[in-house]
Amino acid sequence: MTYNFCTLFDRNYASRGLALYRSLTREIVGDFLLTILCIDDETHEALAKLRLARVRLWKVEDLGDAELVEVRKTRPRREFCWTCPGPLLIALLKEAGAGSVATYLDADLSFYSDIKPLYDELGPHEILIHGHNFAPQYKSYAAGSGIFNVGLMMIRHASEGLACLERWRSQTMAVCELDPERGYCGDQKYLDEWPELYKELIITGHPGAGLAPWNVEAHRVSRQGGRIMVDGRPLIFYHYHGLRILLAGRWRRWAALPALGYNFTPADRDVLYKPYLRSLREAEADLRRAGLQMQHLSVSPRQLLEYFRVQKLVIG
């Protein structure tokens, strides 16, 4: 079996996207093809120079969606990126044919064990998604962010799977903005109604799927035998939502500021964030050699210490 993965990013998320790819090469048992939708030409050119195995690079025009190309002219970059997952999945499934499965991955995911348990959960069904599963203190966030997270979704080329994607595409083409008061959170809150609409939908119950800043406090994270475990089961992927890179002092020391508004234990920072920060540094170094320039927030050593005191930075 060859897994059919896809993701999308621009130059601002390119190091995250490259780190995602490398986590797939490290953890996926079996073959895969990762289609990367490059949102800007600079990202496409840099990735092409890296000649990544098991990767295919697409531009927006390659999706064959004329309406999406027109929408790009009128939407801010962030909103346009949120508009793309539906059309990207549709293009992949049309190419792959009946019965095939395509899996969308946000660029800021990283895998720590094989994805097969999720495919096993999908089984003969047509749609697999995962909940935010907010820790108790963040339950109220569902009103603005939605019940489900778009970070990973599996869709089968079958009647319900395609109908779901076409409806979602139409919705995001119409409105894909961050406006919680009006009930919009990019492409995400549209998923709230999916369980009632699609009988072939599965909500994964695996605790290692979709660990993220908003729920990690409700779980026990540890390292056992070289593996990251969540409540005693292997972590499949972590969603590094909201992470920011800081550069301190004239030596440009790297530090990561995890998502604001959440709490992280020392184990979370050591087991989850420090290795990821190293992978981002390696990815960025390779992308810079390929000609892609990225910018980060520069701070003074004193500011860095204050961030560390208040937010418990991860130092790299």
Residue 304 has pLDDT above 90, yes or no: no
- Which among 73, 72, 94 is positioned nearest to 8, based on CA atoms? 72
Mean of the per-residue pLDDT values of the chain: 92
pLDDT tens-digit map of 134-184: 999 999 999 999 999 999 999 999 999 999 999 999 999 999 997 887 887
- The pLDDT-based confidence of 252 (bands split at 50, 70, 90) is low
Q: What mean pLDDT is predicted for residues 213-227?
A: 93
Residue 254 has pLDDT above 80, yes or no: no
CA 172 to chain centre: 18
All structural domains of the chain, each given as residue ranges with its CATH number in brackets, are 2-211 (3.90.550.10), 242-315 (no CATH)
Amino acid at 307: Y
- The pLDDT-based confidence of 293 (bands split at 50, 70, 90) is confident
Question: What pTM was computed for the model?
Answer: 0.94
Write the CA distances from 79 to 44, 89, 108, 166, 175, integer angstroms: 20, 17, 17, 18, 9
Residue 295 vs residue 133, higher pLDDT: 133
Output the pLDDT for position 290: 97
Would you call 44 exposed, middle or buried from its count of C-beta atoms within 10 A (0-12, 13-18, 19+)? middle
| Main-chain phi, psi angles of 226, to 5 degrees | 85, 0
| Bridge pairing between strands 178-179 and 184-185 | antiparallel
Q: What is the C-alpha to C-alpha distance for residues 128 and 133, in angstroms, rounded to an integer?
A: 15
Residue by residue, DSSP assigns 77-145 as HHHHHHHSHHHHHHHHHHHH-TT-EEEEE-TTEEESS-SHHHHHHHTT-SEEEEE----GGGGGGHHHH
Neighbours of 43 (CB within 10 A): 26
Residue 314 vs residue 235, higher pLDDT: 235
- The pLDDT-based confidence of 306 (bands split at 50, 70, 90) is low
Q: What is the C-alpha to C-alpha distance for residues 88 and 74, in angstroms, rounded to an integer?
A: 19
Output the pLDDT for position 249: 52
Output the pLDDT for position 312: 64
Residue 250 has pLDDT above 60, yes or no: no
pLDDT tens-digit map of 115-131: 999 999 999 999 999 99
Residue 19 has pLDDT above 70, yes or no: yes
Q: What mean pLDDT is predicted for residues 28-51?
A: 98
Output the pLDDT for position 301: 67
Residue 56 has pLDDT above 80, yes or no: yes
Q: Do the beta carbons of residue 137 and residue 218 sit within 8 Å?
A: no
CA 189 to chain centre: 16
Q: Do the beta carbons of residue 69 and residue 77 sit within 8 Å?
A: no
Which of 10-14, 137-141, 246-250, 289-293 shows the lowest mean pLDDT across its residues?
A: 246-250
Residue 39 has pLDDT above 80, yes or no: yes
